[in-house]
Structure 1
């Protein structure tokens, strides 16, 4: 005799609806909990400064280029819309990269360096490579110009971090410190500095290499040899190029020359007009959009000399705000370096902060006439889609590393003593 088993209705406990709904709701809560889990303060600091500098840069690119665009019969938003397109691509990529595990960055270190090096070789292909001011460091595809060397900065930092991380127990030996760091690093830097004649980007790549070696913990006597090699290589690249030597001699001979300021021509023309822009802004600036130097006086107003337009329109206060944002970015990155236990994270973060902050210092120093004109953009702010995209991807890597830092656990408050109760004697 068979007995029929009652079938549970969907609205009863244990029915199909409740049986399916409970796991689904629980999984959804777990997924949302992971998405909105608290993050370290370093994550918020780096993310906020990156977004603020990017927004600040879009405003300044619009202000610096709208006059030229209108003079050409184009829309005043012609240039800034292209820059905004790269920002709209780069910011989501930064947030996606911030969710990637550290193992991902370790696995792509070698492939990323190989791909970006092959990408850099495209500048030598006839019909693709573009020469600008003596530098063959751009390619033009479908009407867009891209600078492949910008992506080499991030891939070199990742590769150096991975190689030095794998050799962390062998860094007391000269051979393990220099091989393969010096040959491969020299090849990458040589493609840019010698092949493309871009000394500014080559110097930034050299700084990344030195920064990664420094944060890997190699001994000082081993660090001094690569430092000397970098200085010698930079001097050789400068001496062998008449264009670079002209820039360097211009910054040295005309630094205190009143003749250069009275009649700025030749190599000192743009440098002097950059100083004029900063001086004309004063403390509070002429107001956003009211720059005078952007009306044909400052050729590189939207890229290498955008800090001069910033100082002219927003004054000393605007310049200090931008410097403070870069300082906060550096503080967040150095906190990651100090708190992490992973040598790979420490080395790559060191290379990225040397790249971003060091390039900002060089760019601002050029505008202030402290350095010769090197042709490096101001990170986050200068016109240039590939530059903005590479910096945002680097920030994504830093945000990914920040997620691995331990969270601070709040100290539990002491329980209140009930009224009338006597505290225990010690």
Structure 2
């Protein structure tokens, strides 16, 4: 999906803007004008596709980056108020979104039984699950979403509570590592980019899992690294690549890399650079 690459591009662009305007944090106009224009353009394009879930994630990424750079609380509060009004207007003015809210509040009135089938899948998994490939719901009530939005429900049915907790632990470790990398980075651009990429993956994973567990209404966002989609997976790997690049700039990592053994020259390069015999 193009929106996945838009998230990565937007994070990198925003990190560059914030890194160049760190001294303007006390001046909301100078700080927010270019920042909000970039986010506003992407948000507008996403909303034109009626993808509120992706728009919410992009907005949360913006808040995470502003919080990390130390934007004033009055600015954050004002943006939160505007965002809440905007989301409310988008929901109220769209019958389909209102139907999702009503279905979330009253499962018996739902036009789709996928949310309840996701709960059945998680419940039938027990402690250790039914075994890999043994899910029943992916051939039944979750047939159309087993490989996309409801992949976590299938995972819980096949791997049980233990497997589900392990997946949650992996996302927690990724989030902790990303924030640690951002806090220790000596490069402002990489630090801000690390925060944005971490917020993107962790927030999107939380929203997807909360929807599967019926803690949120259906918003239609994939689970990073696990949901089907080659472009989404590639975008997730780009985010991880940015985190690894930022990790190499940590003081301890830089010293370790400098003191470590030099990498061996590839054989192909050795052949190319080898001295040629004179005729």
> Higher helix proportion, which one?
2
Bigger relative contact order (CA 8 A; separation at least 6):
1
Give 1:334 deviation, angstroms. Answer: 1.2
Q: What's the counterpart of residue 149 of structure 1?
A: 3
Q: What is the rounded CA distance, in whole Å, between the counterparts of 2:145 and 2:132 in structure 1?
A: 18
TM-score norm. by structure 1 comes to 0.58
Which among 40, 65, 82 is matched to residue 229 of structure 1? 82
SS in 2 for 1:300: coil
After superposition, what is the alpha-carbon deviation per residue over 1:137-196, rounded to whole angstroms, capped at 9, x for unaligned?
xxxxxxxxxx11110101111111111111111111121122111222112111102x10
CA separation in 2, counterparts of 1:246 and 1:253? 10
| Structure 1 residues 25-424: aligned runs within 5 Å | 147-193=1-47, 195-254=48-107, 260=108, 266-267=111-112, 269-298=113-142, 299-407=144-252
* Aligned Cα root-mean-square deviation (Å): 1.5
Number of the residue aligned with 2:260: none
Name which of structure 1's ranges 202-211 and 234-243 shifts more when overlaid on structure 2.
234-243
Instruction: Return the alpha-carbon distance in structure 2 between the equivalents of residues 184 and 309 of structure 1.
Output: 37
1:265 and 1:166, CA in 2 relative to 1: closer, same or farther beyond 3 A? closer
| Whole-angstrom CA distance in 2 between matches of 1:406 and 1:321 | 31
CA distance in structure 1 between the aligned counterparts of 2:32 and 2:110, rounded to whole angstroms: 45
Q: Distance in 2 between matches of 1:389 and 1:314?
A: 25
Deviation string, structure 1 residues 7-30 (Cα, Å, up to 9, x no partner) = xxxxxxxxxxxxxxxxxxxxxxxx
Instruction: String of CA shifts for 1:65-116, please: whole Å, max 9, x gaps.
Output: xxxxxxxxxxxxxxxxxxxxxxxxxxxxxxxxxxxxxxxxxxxxxxxxxxxx
Which is higher, the Rg of structure 1 or of structure 2?
1
Contact 2:186-2:249 within 8 A present in 1 as well: no
Measure the CA separation in 2 of the matches of 1:206 and 1:197.
15
Map Cα deviations across residues 347-398 of structure 1 (whole Å, 9 max, x no partner).
2111111110000000000000000000000000001111111010111111
- State the alpha-carbon separation in 2 of the partners of residues 158 and 204 from structure 1: 16
- Counterpart secondary structure, 2:23: coil
Alpha-carbon distance between aligned partners in 2 of 1:310 and 1:215, rounded to the nearest angstrom: 33
Checking the alignment, whether the CA contact within 8 Å between 2:10 and 2:38 is kept in structure 1 is: no
Distance 1:198 1:167 in 2: 31
- SS of equivalent residue, structure 2 residue 162: helix
| Separation (CA, whole Å) in 2 of partners of 1:372 and 1:265 | 11
Count of matched residue positions in the alignment of Structure 1 and Structure 2:
254
2:275 aligned partner? none
Q: How far does residue 296 in structure 1 lie from its aligned partner after superposition?
A: 2.8
Q: What is the TM-score with the length of structure 2 in the denominator?
A: 0.87
Cα distance per residue 1:225-271 (max 9 Å; x no partner):
122222222222222221111111210223xxxxx3xxx8613x110
Aligned equivalent of 1:89: none
